[in-house]
Structure 1
Amino acid sequence: MQANHLLLEEPIRMASILEPSKPNFFPAMSKIVGTLGPKSRSVEIISGCLKAGMSVARFDFSWGDTDYHQETLENLKKAVKSTKKLCAVMLDTVGPELQVVNKSERAISLQAAAFVVLTPDQGKEATSEILPINFGGLSKAVGKGDTIFIGQYLFTGSETTSVWLEVAEVKGEDVVCVIKNSATLAGSLFTLHISQIHIDLPTLSDKDKEVISTWGVRNNIDFLSLSYTRHAEDVRHARDFLSKLGDLNQTQIFAKIENIEGLTHFDEILQEADGIILSRGNLGIDLPPEKVFLFQKAAVYKCNMAGKPAVVTRVVDSMTDNLRPTRAEATDVANAVLDGSDAILLGAETLRGLYPVETISIVGKICAEAEKVFNQELYFKRTGKYVGEPMSHLESIASSAVRAAINVKASVIIVFTSSGKAARLIAKYRPTMPVISVVIPRLKTNQLRWSFTGAFQAESTNSTNESVLKVALDHGKVSGVIKSHDRVVVCQKVGDASVVKIIELED
């Protein structure tokens, strides 16, 4: 009975469903990652995306050169300045992605039951009979009966814009396939995915390394999305590469799980990575459709217990061309939040979709509604139980801060941090209110000069904690998160001790 009672602690009244949604200062606590591209790179559109709730901008290097992405990023900086909305930068690697190369960019019509040849000869033109690809080892990797999927940009699963092939025979380096459904491929680049086959290419390609060490370093990227992560070693290798670049040793690595291989080694990858992106587009091809939800629920739970962000992709594909999501998609977004997802990643919907701002706005509203009925009490107990006893000093402080904030109905938690670890631990316990991180830089010396280090480019300060707290409170008031007579929970270090205190604000 007790377990059932816990599950029903937040009954949903039918009346509340009929009430209009109340606008919050934060569109949602869940983060929204928007992929910037052709339809979302002007200052005006990016500003709209930021106001609608985008807090991470993703730059996908599967297409476009560094100059193109730099131009988009400069526009993002202008939009951040004008809207005063902070936005992190995520660089998404190409990795061992297989691609069909269509230099002429003419649409290619493929008919069911006809044959098409996949060839590594990129000098050939893409036609209905032959498709040149960027990988010379395909003929060695596949065999008769294997399934190959080809789709534009990101797989939509739409039967008219993506095609299923079955390998009929291998002829030298060419692979002859029978087409399973009629479709038209449009654009210059199509991604190719072979179901449950190991591709012998490095996870961090030479092209990726070049982009990271130039564009990534120049722009001090916040996140690296590591495409097609298959082993923990992939993450270690990427981390080692970033640390050698110096400027990027604070950059977080999010492992993108896209196939059976990554799924098989999920636990070890989770230990090494800073966060996980569940790439449901590719996973939906490697896994039978009825198994995708199981992986999502298991992976998100593991991420939650490890205190690492879980990002879910491919939620509102239909909004690439439509102003409203389907009912199933809206439910899917809400269920992702109720499962414990920390962020929703939008790909084609904002990259080349017709309604990038509206998509972010609607996804944010759905997340906010789901958060209202998220069973935080059950989640908190489960997380604490998983951590076990004795808790580490920091873990204990973080969980106490969240518990205190919920008990006194605080409007915000303010945390003083230098590395961001304390703030991330507080977020692990899913507070129902926003967390404001105040970055206190650490002072270092090499005997010749003093320097500051911190998770961000923190300003040097000789101020006391109290004066810094006042700055944080003033920022909260200006932002509209904190009002007169609100209670605020503060988590800070005093000497060698960590302190959680509750402040009641006056007028």
Structure 2
Amino acid sequence: MHSHHLLLEEPIRMASILEPSKPSFFPAMTKIVGTLGPKSRSVEIISSCLNAGMSVARFDFSWGDAAFHQETLENLKVAIKRTKKLCAVMLDTIGPELQVLNKTERPISLDAETLVTLTPNQEIEATSNLLPINFSGLSKAVKTGDTIFIGQYLFTGSETTSVWLEVNEVKGEDVVCLVKNSATLSGSLFTLHISQIRIELPTLTDKDKEVISTWGVHNSIDFLSLSYTRHAEDIRHAREHLSKLGDLNQTRIFAKIDNFEGLTHFDEILQEADGIILSRGNLGIDLPPEKVFLFQKAAVYKCNMAGKPVVITRVVDSMTDNLRPTRAEATDVANAVLDGCDAILLGAETLRGLYPVETISIVGRICAESEKVFNQDSFFKNTVKYVGEPMSHMESIASSAVLKFLGLIWVFLSCLYLLLTLSKKTGVSLFS
């Protein structure tokens, strides 16, 4: 990992911290990706999300059918026309995601120190001691003592809505587990994640290909979020599939890093991908808690130096049910921006959260406040030092253009300041 300074402008006047945040004419430069779902699919809510600062709408195909997402997208189009705000469309693939199926949708209570069996028989009903899953190879992938996590949408770490299991015994295709914490699983679908175990399933599944070829082509998607990217070959395979479709030649592929395998091959994935999404929900399971920040900082820095956008997920989980983020979450968002993160992805907070609009608004305000103290000069010097001399022709032109533009703005503001000062002293209004 490359060492680098925290890109914080100094000094910060303590008095300015106590001043109320001023509404800015320009939105935060850090983009906000909002996942649209049950709580955020009406024209009214989507319009409010756009006005609050959402600039990319994510459609997560881990749940819901194409018709459901199409209806949401049609509402997005109406909201874009109504608000006159631009918004890109991101399709998020299912990938090799393991799921527990709960057809009845009745809440399932699991008690600590009891046994529960995971079975590939999807015909049976989910109960407190028997959970059907969508993968027949689980018994071959795990061994006694392995850790399995289950939670709605993604494992949250919350003791009441997520559960962690320890493999007790493998019986044929069934896996018997010991429940380690009491929890209630509610909803029709739960994600299952095995810590540091490779799942022998393709990254781009047949179902993903079908969705991209139909829904993706029909809606000319701007971004493809490739879930569980594990190798550079996964990106090349996805790009090859897009190129065959013709209409999606301009679609950008973002590699979603979910597990230790993607982490291990990060450098080669970064070379192939158009951008990176750090899926901290799953990464937080594969890595010890004290290691997550190290990977995040290293990955963000590498993306910055490669000139490729990097997106952080799972930032304000508590806002799924609460109107305000915790202090730690607010600081987490700010530090991600100061480290050079380009976008924040909101998942459950907007998909099924109670306050999707407020979440986007608050995250946007934190990003804007962080950008005010971001040390652009230090960042530029670090980048030039990393890239080395001489710069490429295109890089040199772009850099010169930005510096000249900033110089003109500085001259304009200086002149305006002088004129205002003279106006005050002479008592002659500039606009009279």
Do they superpose with TM above 0.5? Answer: yes
Report the Cα offset of residue 404 of structure 1. Answer: 2.0
Describe the SS at the equivalent of 1:212.
Answer: helix
Unaligned runs of 5+ in 1: 413-481, 487-507
Structure 2 residue 237 is the aligned partner of structure 1 residue 246: no
Map 1:228-307 to 2 at 5 A: 228-307=228-307
Partner of 1:225: 225
Tell whether the 8 Å contact from 2:31 to 2:343 is kept in structure 1 after alignment. Answer: yes
SS in structure 1 at match of 2:25: coil
Equivalent in the alignment of 1:134? 134
- State the alpha-carbon separation in 1 of the partners of residues 289 and 386 from structure 2: 30
Q: Aligned-pair distance for 1:60?
A: 0.1
- The answer (yes or no) to whether the contact 2:7–2:379 under 8 Å persists in 1 is no
> Does 2:59 match 1:59?
yes
Q: Equivalent residue for 2:179?
A: 179
Q: Could you say if the C-alpha distance between residues 9 and 211 of structure 1 is closer, same or farther in structure 2, counting changes exceeding 3 Å?
A: closer
Aligned to 1:78: 78
Distance in 1 of aligned mates of 2:8 and 2:220: 45
| 2:346 paired with 1:338 | no
Shift of 1:87: 0.1
Give the whole-Å Cα distance in 2 for the aligned partners of 1:298 and 1:50.
Answer: 31
- 1:22-101 aligned at under 5 Å gives the runs 22-101=22-101
The verdict on how the C-alpha distance between 1:9 and 1:370 changes in structure 2, with shifts beyond 3 A counting, is closer
SS in 2 for 1:337: helix
By how many angstroms is 1:407 displaced? 2.9
1:318 alignment partner in structure 2? 318
Q: Tell me the alpha carbon deviations over residues 424-469 of structure 1, each in whole angstroms, 9 at most, x when there is no partner.
A: xxxxxxxxxxxxxxxxxxxxxxxxxxxxxxxxxxxxxxxxxxxxxx
Q: Deviations over 1:242-300 (max 9, x none)?
A: 00000001000000000000000000000000000000000000000000000000000
Relative to structure 1, the CA distance from residue 164 to residue 13 in structure 2 (aligned partners, 3 Å threshold; closer, same or farther) is: same
Q: 1:57 to 1:5 in 2, by over 3 A?
A: closer
TM-score normalised by the chain length of structure 2: 0.93
Q: TM-score, normalised by structure 1?
A: 0.80
- Name the residue aligned to 1:489: none
Q: C-alpha separation between the residues in 1 aligned to 2:85 and 2:411?
A: 20
Cα-to-partner distance string for 1:481-507 (whole Å, 9 max, x where unaligned): x9x989xxxxxxxxxxxxxxxxxxxxx
CA distance in 1, matches of 2:26, 2:215: 31
Structure 1: distance between partners of 2:9 and 2:230: 39
Asked whether the 8 Å contact 1:47–1:83 carries over to 2, the reply is: yes
Native 8 Å contact 1:154 1:347 kept in 2: no
Contact 2:254/2:276, CA 8 A, preserved across alignment: yes
Q: Deviations over 1:378-426 (max 9, x none)?
A: 10001111111221111001111222233333699xxxxxxxxxxxxxx
Q: Structure 1 CA distance, aligned partners of 2:401 and 2:86?
A: 25
Please state whether the residue corresponding to 1:408 is helix, strand or coil. Answer: helix
- Structure 1 Cα separation of the partners of residues 372 and 139 of structure 2: 52
1:121 and 2:121 matched:
yes
Contact 2:49/2:357 (8 A) holds in 1: yes
Report the Cα distance in structure 2 between the residues aligned to 1:44 and 1:186, rounded to whole angstroms.
27
User: After the TM superposition, which residues 343-492 of structure 1 pair with which residues of structure 2 at under 5 Å, given as runs?
Assistant: 343-409=343-409
- Give the equivalent residue in structure 2 for 1:157: 157
> Which residue identity lines up with residue 308 of structure 1 in the other structure?
K
User: Are 2:7 and 2:339, in contact at CA under 8 Å, matched by a contact in 1?
Assistant: no
* Alpha carbons of structure 1 residues 216 and 12: separation in structure 2 relative to 1, 3 Å: same
Q: Is the 8 A contact 2:8 2:374 kept in 1?
A: no
Residues 411 and 274 from structure 1, CA distance in 2 versus in 1: closer, same or farther, beyond 3 angstroms? Answer: farther
2:7 and 2:331 mapped to 1: Cα distance? 19
Cα offset, 1:128, TM superposition:
0.4
Structure 1 or 2: more helix by fraction:
2
Shift of 1:375: 0.9
Aligned partner of residue 409 in structure 2, secondary structure: coil
SS in 1 for 2:166: strand
Unaligned runs of 5+ in 2: 418-432
**SS in structure 2 opposite 1:360?**
helix
* Corresponding residue of 1:462: none
- Counterpart amino acid of residue 342 in structure 1: D
Kept in 2, the 8 Å contact 1:6–1:378? The answer is: no
Residue of structure 2 in register with 1:109 after alignment: 109
Which residue is equivalent to 1:214? 214
Tell me the SS of whatever aligns to 1:55.
Answer: strand
Q: What is the distance in 1 between the residues matched to 2:384 and 2:238? A: 32
Higher RCO, Cα 8 Å, sep 6+: 2
Deviations 1:102-124 (A, max 9, x none): 01111000000000000000011
Change in 2 beyond 3 A, CA 1:391/1:176: same
Cα deviations by residue, 1:288-338 (Å, 9 ceiling, x for unpaired): 000000000000000000000000000000000000000000000000100
Q: Report how many aligned residue pairs link the two structures.
A: 414
How far is the alpha carbon of 1:22 from its aligned partner?
A: 1.1
Residue 148 of structure 2 aligns with which residue?
Answer: 148
State the distance in 1 between where 2:13 and 2:168 align. 56
Runs of 4 or more above 6 Å deviation = 3-8
Deviations 1:194-223 (A, max 9, x none): 000000000000000000000000000000
Amino acid of the residue matched to residue 393 of structure 1?
H
One-letter amino acid matched to 1:409: I
Matched residue, 1:426:
none
Aligned-partner Cα distance in 1 for 2:4–2:170? 56
Q: Distance in 1 between matches of 2:4 and 2:242?
A: 47
1:347-388 Cα deviation digits (max 9, x unpaired): 000000000000000000000000000111110001111111
Q: CA RMSD in A?
A: 1.9
Change beyond 3 A, Cα 1:103–1:405: same
